[in-house]
Amino acid sequence: QSKDFDDDNDPGRVRVSVRVRPRNGEELISDADFSDLVELQPEIKRLKLKKNNWNSESYRFDEVFTDTASQKRVYEGVAKPVVEGVLNGYNGTIMAYGQTGTGKTYTVGKIGKDDAAERGIMVRALEDILVNASSASASVSVEISYLQLYMETIQDLLAPEKNNISINEDAKTGEVSVPGATVVHIQDLDHFLQVLQVGETNRHAANTKMNTESSRSHAILTVHVRRAMNEKAEMGTKSRDKEAKPESMDKGIPKVRKSKLLIVDLAGSERINKSGTDGHLIEEAKFINLSLTSLGKCINALAEGSSHIPTRDSKLTRLLRDSFGGSARTSLIITIGPSARYHAETTSTIMFGQRAMKIVNMVKLKEE
Ligand code: ADP
């Protein structure tokens, strides 16, 4: 199925952006030239990938971020359209996909304690949502939960003792929830920064205890937004004539919109060597691959316009079920390393992104 990517503002298509991490010290000294593998053309939103000495292929993305792109620009290009959708009542998902060490956590989860310019998508999204909360015409309540998914087990990053939480799917509405997860009502940005820090500390502690790398788990921040139109503000701006008031206000029922935003820092996409002798590692590889493979299958099915999306195969895709595809808005940022040495992983990441470019969601105004 061929797809025309020209409509940049089509909210019905999954946004896919690519970001390359700046070189680290070692890469600066020893590495073969990155341009032997990849050529970035941010002004035309293209990336050229060398296949071999004679062939290269050019791929179109929604945004192409070089290693000098700021966190602010990345937020605006990747996340803002989804956050705006969430404020208008659509569910949304923002995901980072790529090899370990290519900047997923930096892009998505960076707290930026010492330098606000370094703040990542989670912090900036909350800031945007909370700013909206103080508007005169609506009151917004913001609640979050923060989970880690590791080997098909959901752990609560805000309450480490809850380490095997189950997912609930409403048979009628299809709404996905995680009833056992800790939910924190967020008052302001400082409060969110504290909560996020607690989550990060717990994630680190849990992974140390299990003797694993955080790169092998998915971190999932869920933001529940409830937006109620403010009666007084509405009366103040509209005619005071009783006839002009919406019926619902006469009954004292405020207009409420509920939506949720998932921000996901995915496990590293690199293949984990399954041939090791360590049984734990083999089990782990199987499970990590299960969630990511299953995500890949769903993306392929959505891209092909298939009527069956195999979301039940893994916990990750079950969690994403009502926030990916359908009426939800989705943005994927793929991250790549700035070295020709990561040839296989970089190529596979770019192909993953290209398949996601083909997904067309059906955006309908959500029933209120
Ligand atoms: P991943 O989550 O994909 O494993 P990280 O986000 O941990 O990768 O990034 C690996 C390292 O590179 C970290 O030290 C991180 O701070 C740094 N890094 C990644 N992206 C950037 C960037 N755009 N600017 C500066 N440093 C970055």
Does a structural domain hold residue 323? no
CA-nearest residue for atom 10, ligand 1, is: 101
Per-residue pLDDT reduced to its tens digit, 148-191: 999 899 999 999 999 999 999 999 988 999 999 999 999 999 99
For residue 32, the model assigns a pLDDT of 63
Does a structural domain hold residue 36? yes
Beta carbons of 122 and 134 less than 8 angstroms apart: no
Percent above pLDDT 70 for the chain: 82
For residue 348, give both structure tokens.
């596979």
For residue 141, give both structure tokens.
């309540």
Does a structural domain hold residue 285? no
- Cα separation, 186 vs 171, in Å, equals 29
For 309, counting Cβ atoms within 10 Å of its Cβ (0-12 exposed, 13-18 middle, 19+ buried), the class is middle
Per-residue pLDDT reduced to its tens digit, 109-132: 999 999 999 999 999 999 999 988
Query: What's the 184 CA to ligand 1 centre distance in angstroms?
Result: 28
Query: What's the 22 CA to ligand 1 centre distance in angstroms?
Result: 8
- Structural domain boundaries enclosing 171: 15-276+329-357
Indicate the pLDDT class of residue 227, thresholds 50, 70 and 90: confident
Atom of ligand 1 nearest to the CA of 24: 12
Beta carbons of 71 and 117 less than 8 angstroms apart: yes
Query: What's the 92 CA to ligand 1 centre distance in angstroms?
Result: 24
Indicate the pLDDT class of residue 340, thresholds 50, 70 and 90: confident
| pTM greater than 0.80 | yes
From 18, 21, 339, 349, give the residue whose CB has the most ligand 1 atoms within 8 Å, as the site to mutate. 21
Q: How many domains does the chain have?
A: 1
Answer yes or no: is the ipTM higher than 0.90. Answer: yes
Beta carbons of 93 and 261 less than 8 angstroms apart: yes
Q: Which long-range contacts (CB under 8 A, 24 or more apart) does 110-117 make?
A: 110/71, 111/193, 111/196, 111/197, 111/200, 112/71, 113/193, 113/197, 117/70, 117/71, 117/72
Does a structural domain hold residue 122? yes
For residue 297, the model assigns a pLDDT of 92
CA-nearest residue for atom 12, ligand 1, is: 103
- Cα separation, 299 vs 349, in Å, equals 13
| Binding-site residues from annotation for ATP | 98-105
CATH of the domain at 180: 3.40.850.10
Query: What's the 25 CA to ligand 1 centre distance in angstroms?
Result: 13
Beta carbons of 259 and 90 less than 8 angstroms apart: yes
For residue 276, the model assigns a pLDDT of 53
Q: Quick check: CB of 71 below 6 Å from ligand 1?
A: no
Lowest mean pLDDT among 99-103, 158-162, 355-359: 355-359
Does a structural domain hold residue 75? yes
Per-residue pLDDT reduced to its tens digit, 302-331: 888 888 889 999 999 999 998 887 778 999
Query: What's the 225 CA to ligand 1 centre distance in angstroms?
Result: 29
**HEC per residue, the chain:** CCCCCCCCCCCCECEEEEEECCCCHHHHHHCCCHHHCEEEEHHHCEEEEECCCCCEEEEECCEEECCCCCHHHHHHHHHHHHHHHHHCCCCEEEEEEECCCCCHHHHHHCCCCCCHHHCCHHHHHHHHHHHHHCCCCEEEEEEEEEEEEECCEEEECCCCCCCCCCCEECCCCCCEECCCCCCEECCCHHHHHHHHHHHHHHHHHHHHHCCCCHHHCEEEEEEEEEEEECHHHHHHHCCCCHHHCCHHHHCCCCCEEEEEEEEEECCCCCCCCCCCCCHHHHHHHHHHHHHHHHHHHHHHHHHCCCCCCCHHHCHHHHHHCCCCCCCCEEEEEEEECCCHHHHHHHHHHHHHHHHHHCCECCCCCCCC
Per-residue pLDDT reduced to its tens digit, 245-302: 444 444 555 678 899 999 999 999 987 655 555 666 667 667 667 888 899 999 998 8
Does a structural domain hold residue 314? no
- Cα separation, 238 vs 234, in Å, equals 6
Rounded to 10 deg, the angle between the 279-303 and 343-357 helix axes is 40
Does a structural domain hold residue 262? yes
Does a structural domain hold residue 333? yes
User: C-alpha 206: how far from its chain's center?
Assistant: 22
Q: How crowded is the C-beta side of 175, counted as CA atoms within 13 Å?
A: 13
| Binding-site residues from annotation | 98-105
Atom of ligand 1 nearest to the CA of 108: 6
Q: Quick check: CB of 106 below 6 Å from ligand 1?
A: yes
